[in-house]
Structure 1
Amino acid sequence: AYADYKALMQLTENMREKVALNILGSTDVPYQGEVFSFKGPFKKISMFDAILEHNPEFTPENVNDREFLAKFTQDVLKEQVKPGFGLGKLQTIVFEETVETKLRQPTFITEYPAETSPLARRNDDNPHITDRFEFFIGGRELANGFSELNDPIDQAERFQAQVAEKDAGDDEAMHYDADFVEALEYGLPPTAGEGIGIDRLVMLFADAPSIRDVILFPHMRRKEG
């Protein structure tokens, strides 16, 4: 409580560096032929700028053009574009398909679209983006954090938008959570939360090629016969 996503980014950075020093005695973490530097400060870049950086043929106008991104998603990425997909959803798809795997060294991606961040607080300067980050190493997401949305009216509207997207065919959209909205009506102080991919972090320090190598009870295939 009484923290925001920027405080969580700093905490994440400090924790990664300290864990590396405690386990390996160094901030250089070797993994499957690469070496990742856990020495801060880590790179921080918005999703919008990351798309431009890794797609040099794009202009800022392209990234803000729904029709352009829809055509690119269908024709180049060969991904289905459903009628309910707005600009933010398409920006997220393009980012995931063209940028994520290229984020090798520790990187914070910030300013995720509100359309794909239904629980995150809107940015004060731009209501179309949120105070949210995801943390990447080696092309994999290791953390997702944001300033929590504590406005019950905004949260109810976001849930309603998610329901509309689900009805339009978006399987990743959320259901309306009436209990959560009611809880927010009682009051929630400024709060930030983060989910950390512990298994993926252990993979790095164990130099394990597969997540199955570090999960205590991995899913097993049923034995035939």
Structure 2
Amino acid sequence: MNPVRHVEGRTAALRLENLDTDQIMPKQFLRGIDKRGLRDGLLYDLRFDGEGRERADFVLNRPAYAGVSVLIGGNNFGCGSSREHAVWGLQQAGIRAVVAPGFGEIFYSNAMGNGLLLVALPEADVRRLMDEADAVPGNAVSIDVATLTLRGAGGVEARFDMLPRHQRMLLEGLDAIGLSMTYRDRIDAFAQAHWAAQPWLKDVARPAAGPLNASA
């Protein structure tokens, strides 16, 4: 995963409360066994009508918002099912950060584990950022992960909170496994002490595994 230390980009307001992962990435785009092509499914039912025609009034279909990389969303953004495809689709579409008053818990963990920056701010700040994005299409924000600060071109300046482990994952470009492996020495030391105190438990399944592997 690439480090995420600073995000600066153009914004668009999605004035939708409780935007769930089924809306972010509809089920018909989950048929593949890899991550390819998810950009096409992002917010599909909001972007297109029942005949597959673009909805001209949807913010991300408007030419003035081309190249947006920061979404300003409503509360409980990313609620619903645990599908990680919602995060991957946002990233494939060029979205690097989402700012909202709150996020679905599983979506938040999936996003942070994939390097998609999520920023939770008070509703008053979010509304102001939305208003600025509507008034000046592409109004930019700058987000610094090291200092946990957001600055908007229209004057919004706010601090936000983040768990230390999520901040470290972003700054160092670590996913959950990568973060775990930074403790490899401590994990190995624990294992050695465990086997030394209880040697009868080490490789307890090996005798059974041999015949099973042979028969396979």
TM-score (norm 2): 0.30
TM-score (norm 1): 0.29
Structure possessing the higher relative contact order (Cα contacts under 8 Å, 6 or more residues apart): 2
Which is greater in Rg? Answer: 2
